[in-house]
């Protein structure tokens, strides 16, 4: 399988359409992945002088570097969490950005590598770290967190129906022996949630919840959104692709606040809204795209523009 087929860039044409009118000098991509979006954006915008490419996954950065070799004088690679954007902008002397893309899903490459522990369908160690240099993994969470804290994570981050009995069962099981692999955890979940004839495995939401907690994804996302909006130059746009309702809810809320005028205690507008939301409803993949790439089915794209 070629590198280009390992990960199909989601909503690519829609992303390019929203970026088309923008004269981009400095671009910030929050999760570079294998560089699919970056390659097409760089082709479409030869005026780009600095492409700031962030990813916590060193393996993805290495593959993307090879893919983007043609633009090696423009692309700056950062092995870092995208919430650190303000620090890197300041250190690099960039005073602002003209456009940004945050694709906040787990890449197909990560899902397909059993040793990364993201996929419940491939047996591997309970890992789920986006940044493999980080010390805390899913194994640590499952075996060390209290029953109460596990329940909270399953309920809030996975919207798991039977979060309380699942937390109880995990604590019972780990007393016998540590839970160390994805299949061990999946079998525990299946005891409570028998596999039915549905497309979504009962452990899917459980794995989602653990991944979010291990990587502190929701807090990091909100922080990154606010910092990116602050860094956007006038006329600049921020595009965000999310893959589940918790992420999309945060994006929607942050965008709504940014696009609201500032009012005093009497309700009088004292400052016009600095941003305009360009997507009144999120853009979703077409049936054709979903057929070509089933993993795109839950993707949602929201776009906001700085007008002041």
49-56 average pLDDT score? 97
On whether residue 145 sits in a domain, the answer given is yes
Do 200 and 224 lie in one domain? The reply is no
Residue 121: the pLDDT is 73
Torsion sign (Cα): 88, 91, 96, 99: negative
Do 239 and 280 lie in one domain? The reply is yes
Do 23 and 40 lie in one domain? The reply is yes
Any idea what DSSP says for residue 281? S
Number of other residues whose CB lies within 10 A of the CB of residue 195: 11
Q: What percent of the chain has pLDDT over 90?
A: 81
Do 160 and 133 lie in one domain? The reply is yes
Do 96 and 227 lie in one domain? The reply is yes
Angle between helices 204-215 and 147-158 (to 10 degrees): 110
On whether residue 108 sits in a domain, the answer given is no
Quick: pLDDT tens for 199-253.
678 888 999 999 999 999 999 999 999 999 999 999 999 999 999 999 999 999 9
Q: Of 1-15, 69-83, 111-125, where does the model show the most confidence? A: 69-83
Closest Cα partner for 26 from 80, 97, 89? 97
Do 27 and 80 lie in one domain? The reply is yes
Q: Are 130 and 33 in contact (CB under 8 A)?
A: no
Do 210 and 163 lie in one domain? The reply is yes
On whether residue 163 sits in a domain, the answer given is yes
Q: Which stretches within 201-244 are classed as H helix?
A: 204-215, 217-231
Quick: pLDDT tens for 140-175.
999 999 999 999 999 999 999 899 999 999 999 999
Domain boundary among 215, 239, 259: 215
Domain boundary among 190, 215, 240: 215
The range of the structural domain enclosing residue 248 comes to 3-103+218-306
CATH number of residue 253's parent domain: 3.40.50.150
Q: Are 284 and 268 in contact (CB under 8 A)?
A: no
Domain boundary among 183, 215, 247: 215
Any idea what DSSP says for residue 81? -
Number of other residues whose CB lies within 10 A of the CB of residue 148: 11
Q: Are 166 and 154 in contact (CB under 8 A)?
A: yes
Per-residue tokens: 13 = 């044409």
On whether residue 159 sits in a domain, the answer given is yes
Quick: pLDDT tens for 68-95.
999 999 999 999 999 999 999 999 999 9
Largest interatomic CA distance in the chain:
63
Do 208 and 223 lie in one domain? The reply is no
The pTM assigned to this predicted structure is: 0.90
Q: Are 57 and 110 in contact (CB under 8 A)?
A: yes
Number of domains, the chain: 2
Do 93 and 234 lie in one domain? The reply is yes
On whether residue 168 sits in a domain, the answer given is yes
Do 118 and 182 lie in one domain? The reply is yes
Do 171 and 243 lie in one domain? The reply is no
CATH number of residue 138's parent domain: 1.10.150.170
Do 98 and 223 lie in one domain? The reply is yes
């Amino acid at each position: 399988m070629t590198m280009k087929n390992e990960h199909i860039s989601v909503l690519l044409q829609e992303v390019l359409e929203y970026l088309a009118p923008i004269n981009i000098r400095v671009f910030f991509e929050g999760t570079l992945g294998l560089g699919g979006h970056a390659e097409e954006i760089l082709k479409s915008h030869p005026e780009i002088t600095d492409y700031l490419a962030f990813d916590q996954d060193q393996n993805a950065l290495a593959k993307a570097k090879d893919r983007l070799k043609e633009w090696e004088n423009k692309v700056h690679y950062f092995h870092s969490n995208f919430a650190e954007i303000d620090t890197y902008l300041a250190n690099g002397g960039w005073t602002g950005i003209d456009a940004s893309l945050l694709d906040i899903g787990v890449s197909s490459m990560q899902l397909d590598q059993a040793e990364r522990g993201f996929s419940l369908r491939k047996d591997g160690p309970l890992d789920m770290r986006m940044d493999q240099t980080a010390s805390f993994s899913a194994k640590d969470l499952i075996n060390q967190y209290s029953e109460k804290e596990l329940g909270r994570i399953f309920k809030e981050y996975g919207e798991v129906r039977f979060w309380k009995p699942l937390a109880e069962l995990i604590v019972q099981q780990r007393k016998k022996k540590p839970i160390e692999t994805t299949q061990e955890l999946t079998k525990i979940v299946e005891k409570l949630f028998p596999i039915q004839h549905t497309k979504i495995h009962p452990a899917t939401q459980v794995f989602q919840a653990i991944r979010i907690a291990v990587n502190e994804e929701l807090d990091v996302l909100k922080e990154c959104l606010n910092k990116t909006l602050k860094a956007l130059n006038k006329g600049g746009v921020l595009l965000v692709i999310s893959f589940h309702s918790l992420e999309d809810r945060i994006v929607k809320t942050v965008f709504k606040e940014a696009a609201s005028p500032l009012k005093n205690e009497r309700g009088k507008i004292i400052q016009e809204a600095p941003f305009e939301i360009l997507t009144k409803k999120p853009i979703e993949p077409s049936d054709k795209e979903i057929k070509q790439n089933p993993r795109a089915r839950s993707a949602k794209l929201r776009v906001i523009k700085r007008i002041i």
